Amino acid sequence: MTFRDLVSDTLRTLSANKLRTFLTMFGIAWGIVSITLMVAAGEGLRVGQAQVAEQFGKDIMIVFAGRTSLQAGGARAGRRVQWEAEDWKSVLEQSPSCQYVMPELGQGGTPVRSSYNSASLLVTGSLPPFAEVRSIGVGEGRYPSWDDEKEARRVVLLGSDARKQLFGSRPALGETVRIGDFPYTVVGVMKHKEQDSSYDGQDISKLFLPFATILRDFPNRPPQNPKSVDRLLAVPRDTAHHDACKWEVRRALGRIHGFDPQDEQAAGIWDTVEEALAFRQMTDGMKYFLGAVGLATLFIGGIGVMNVMLVAVRERTREIGVRRAVGATRRSVVRQFFLETMVVVFLSGGIGMGIAYAICAAVNLLPMPQFFAGLLPTWQSGALAFGLLGTVAVASAFYPASRAAAVDPIEALRQEAGG
């Protein structure tokens, strides 16, 4: 039997039971659509969260000073710890697994005035790599440089919303703003960015100064140490060095300030790496669960295909007997029904795959919410769907084909056609 005859015979068999065939093929197609869309939704959620998280900063550990909860070196527990302005240098030297360690100091509610407007804003200062670490994109001008840091220049980069408050639609670059009692030159304006989390406010509403400048002009107020800083930022060299970087930072700070490195209360760390990992585990679990639902639907459709082909075997018993009587081998009968089943499964699966990708493309044309990047089918999900489809096809074809091959030619010839 040629492939053309095979396809023709398959279509004739399917058309004899149109409703049953439609429902069966619909089950296969819906299973493929379900798997593809559910996995694509899980991937879109994961990618969307990662994109938003990177707007805050990628792979950052924010180290906050607290109170000791363990005794160390004869000092009682409950002692308050404060990071000093020069701590970052010693910590960086003792933390080879960290790419960056830097201080950050901020002052909220600082009066800021331009020639056109005034506002009460948050000013923050750190070292030049802060822009990279915290994803501070520069839309105009530049971020305060190392030369600005060394000379403690009064220069400022404005957040995008801070610029609107102070200058409206007017140019801000090169203008002078008074921050507290001091004149600062605007050397840059930040790009707008979406930000889902923060420890002291949205970056777009801040003013960014060199660390040496903010430490001189806006030191921490009493009773705090005027040379203390709010927090330290640490970035591991890569994900493989994440745990080592965290431990090295705690150990170095413990040596400097005399507390046990295992005392998490003394040096609390907001770990965005662990946070991202936990979210990924959640989205992966959701993706696997939804994929399992689609898989169950796909196998139910496979059972439907098997039933249709079993009915076809029963209705074509006389035809099978005639073929066996004129010399057809068991192998050729198995091949015919096996291929017929494969045609049904892959035809409906291909239709389902086309529908799923069309839905993904249509949905991705719409505006997406902040944490969702759209329906993102991957080659892995396509390969998974294809592999499962092949498994269902083989499982659905094996039993009907073996039943057809087991037909006794003499008994089959005694049956009426179609009986």
For 212-226, 242-256, 299-313, 375-389, which range has the lowest pLDDT when averaged over its residues? 299-313
Residue 150 has pLDDT above 90, yes or no: yes
Q: Is residue 419 part of a domain?
A: no
Shared domain check, 290 and 242: no
pLDDT tens-place string over residues 64-117: 998 888 876 666 778 888 999 999 999 999 999 999 999 999 988 899 999 999
Shared domain check, 406 and 299: yes
pLDDT tens-place string over residues 187-225: 999 998 877 667 788 889 999 999 999 999 998 876 567
Q: Is residue 59 part of a domain?
A: no
pLDDT tens-place string over residues 9-47: 667 766 776 776 777 777 778 778 877 887 888 788 778
Strands (E), 143-204: 155-158, 176-179, 182-190
Shared domain check, 328 and 254: no
Q: Which residue has the tokens 């493989």?
A: 240
Cα separation, 39 vs 32, in Å, equals 11
| Parallel, antiparallel or unpaired: strands 155-158 and 182-190 | parallel
Shared domain check, 398 and 291: yes
pLDDT score at 379? 74
Shared domain check, 255 and 207: yes
Shared domain check, 353 and 229: no
Shared domain check, 150 and 80: yes
**Angle in degrees, CA 166, 171, 174, rounded to 5:** 90
Q: Is residue 85 part of a domain?
A: yes
pLDDT score at 419? 47
Q: Is residue 215 part of a domain?
A: yes
Q: Is residue 272 part of a domain?
A: no
Shared domain check, 218 and 107: yes
pLDDT score at 96? 94
Q: Is residue 148 part of a domain?
A: yes
Q: How confident is the model at residue 350 (pLDDT cuts 50, 70, 90)?
A: confident
Q: What is the DSSP letter of 205?
A: G
Shared domain check, 210 and 114: yes
Decide: residue 213, CB within 10 A, 0-12 exposed, 13-18 middle, 19+ buried: buried
Q: Is residue 60 part of a domain?
A: no
Q: Is residue 388 part of a domain?
A: yes
Cα separation, 107 vs 121, in Å, equals 8
Shared domain check, 175 and 308: no
Q: For the chain, how many structural domains are there in total? A: 2
Residue 223 CB contacts under 8 Å (≥ 6 apart), including other chains: none
Q: Say how many C-beta atoms besides its own lie within 10 A of residue 299's C-beta.
A: 18
Shared domain check, 283 and 259: no
Name the residue range of residue 126's domain: 67-265
Residue 287 has pLDDT above 90, yes or no: no
For 124-133, 207-216, 374-383, 397-406, which range has the lowest pLDDT when averaged over its residues? 397-406
Residue 3 has pLDDT above 70, yes or no: no
Q: How confident is the model at residue 126 (pLDDT cuts 50, 70, 90)?
A: very high
Q: Which of 245, 265, 285 is the last residue of a domain?
A: 265
Q: Which of 265, 285, 315 is the last residue of a domain?
A: 265
Q: Which of 219, 234, 265 is the last residue of a domain?
A: 265
